[in-house]
Structure 1
């Protein structure tokens, strides 16, 4: 059963996810916008894109920047729902 993004993320987190996916995985971004549903394989793509985005937004001391913290929050929330749905 697919996850619905609207059940996983708030409005700001959803907007951030769409912006990240637009840059990192446009085909996945288009699929999610069309259906608002995420399959297991699509969820892996989301986690990868958000993880890469976080890695690129660390400061000189390897701590997340303000933007990196927003990415982390969205990633954590998405993962919590994903793990709850597909243990």
Structure 2
């Protein structure tokens, strides 16, 4: 595949960490699921499909950005190895 190597480089990162591109794609895919959920809930609450679509379209962009930063913050938190937790309790 022509794009195989460039895509691997795009998603390559430090072992055990997601790349920025992967975090962005995860953000977008999660927002698709979340927006569909918001539209369905909005429809049940308002009873109006156009209103539900309006609510869903407004929140989709803000939540992609929020999730991306949330993911990057959590990715920066040091991971504790199993051996390190044993030392803390010893």
Greater fraction strand = 1
Task: Report the TM-score when normalising by structure 2.
Answer: 0.31
Task: Report the TM-score when normalising by structure 1.
Answer: 0.31
Q: Which has the larger radius of gyration?
A: 2
Higher relative contact order (CA 8 A, sep 6+): 1
